[in-house]
Amino acid sequence: MTFNTGQSCSISGVLANWKVLLGLLIIIITTSIRSYIRLSHVPGPLFQSISSLGFLKTHLDGSPHSEILKWTQRPLIKVGPNSVITSDVKTVQRISGVKSPYSKGGWYRPFRFIKERDHSFSMVHEPSHTAFRSKIAAGFRGSAEMEQAAFGFLDEGYDFYGFLKWNKEFFSVAATSAVLPTLARAAQLWPFRGALPKATDPAGLGKFIRHSEEVVGARYKEGPDGRRDLVGMFMKMGVTKDGAVNQTVLYLTSNPRAYKILLSELDKAKADGLLSSPVQSSEARQLPYLQAVVREGLRIYPGGTPLAFKEVPIGGDMVAGYRLPAGTQVGMDVWGALRNTQFWGEDADLFRPERWLNLAEARFSSMVECLDLQFGYGRYQCLGRPLVFMKMNKTLPELLSRYEFAIVDPVHPADIKNAGFYLMNGFNVVVTVRA
């Protein structure tokens, strides 16, 4: 009897390969089941229990905010095998408290845009983060000096160093890679970190860094000089050297009634001598309809919708009525909170500044509290919050009292992409000087 040894070897090889494939399949199925069981009690699409790819796709499409709202309007939503997001304001406030055992998750790491150097947002070591915030907070409080400095980059009328272009490109990549822990870690490793900005770059943030180092370095070399600008305040606090207007204009120009009411208020205030030129933020805060427009603009299209994942501490926690195991990543659903029909009413998708007027104090406070979700709370609150309101209080009156705006293409007024922060392109308007 003879045997075909070649055929026998071939069959053995196939059987061996099938064993390997079967083993891999068993591992994949087992891992998927464990992932599903971990957060199976939390509402959200079934696929999100075993993979973050669906959530990743929403970021690649630039529309995670609207897609998440389609999944469910419950206060807690599952977006990955180990990730949930909540629109419950009280929950986020508790997580962000000074004595909270929660800590920053790996989501923050891709936002480190200088190799091996953290800033306040990307810093995940809690003691270091708290200490650094305490030193730089004074520089973001919206002083009179900051009011004058806020418009300095408008003088030349162009994108200095290509910084704005770099900003849009960077946040698109960072917000997407932050969704998957593996991508988040890889973004800071060789060879990918080689793409991060450097002071030797001819444009973008790198060139901006070089210019900043030269200016700041000279100030630190001279020592404190009494100036109360950002650098002066940082030096005073011991910081070492290393250490949403467009959307509102869009909605205003799309809403002739609100536009007309605001212009009437601004014109009357100017005629009565209540507004100087340039407008001071303190003056703008006295105009009730303007303040309603500012707040409604930030509600209908918040300055950002960062997920800002925090990690559930050892022992687990109850979050928005659901028990979560330790290590679960809990993020903020800003869009869901600001478009919640149960809180804002059935017209939550409409730009209606009047919703902020003539309210009981308790209702007004709860609305402001919800609006502030986009800035975070407690030890994680965005330091730039006062500057956002100052910018809107100064920019909107100046623009709208001087010029008339008409959208070029009402059918498709702009391209808006969500990269944790909204990036707007193609918002073309016809601008004419008001008579």
Q: Which residues are known binding-site members?
A: 382
Question: In this structure, is the dihedral angle defined by the CA atoms of residues 312, 28, 109 and 372, taken in order, positive or negative?
Answer: negative
| Tokens found for residue 425 | 């392109």
**Nearest CA-CA partner of 113 in 198, 177, 202, 176:** 198
| Tokens found for residue 183 | 């991508």
**Nearest CA-CA partner of 197 in 175, 165, 221:** 165
Can you tell me the distance from the alpha carbon of 375 to that of 388, in angstroms, rounded to the nearest whole number? 10
Q: Are strands 76-80 and 103-104 parallel, antiparallel or unpaired?
A: unpaired
Can you tell me the distance from the alpha carbon of 150 to that of 384, in angstroms, rounded to the nearest whole number? 12
- Residue ranges for the known binding site for heme are 382
DSSP 3-state of 413: coil
| Cβ contact 330:95 at 8 Å | yes
Q: In the Cβ-directed half-sphere of 188, how many Cα atoms lie within 13 Å?
A: 19
Burial annotation 126-149 (CB, 10 A radius, 16+ → b, else e): eeebeebbebbebbbebbeebbee
DSSP state for residue 229 in the 8-state scheme: S
Q: What is the distance between the terminal CA atoms of the chain, rounded to a whole angstrom?
A: 107
Q: In the Cβ-directed half-sphere of 287, how many Cα atoms lie within 13 Å?
A: 32
Q: Is 198 left (phi over 0), alpha (psi -120 to 50) or beta?
A: beta
DSSP 3-state of 259: helix
Can you tell me the distance from the alpha carbon of 21 to that of 383, in angstroms, rounded to the nearest whole number? 52
Can you tell me the distance from the alpha carbon of 350 to that of 336, in angstroms, rounded to the nearest whole number? 14
- In Å, how far from its chain's centre is CA 21? 42
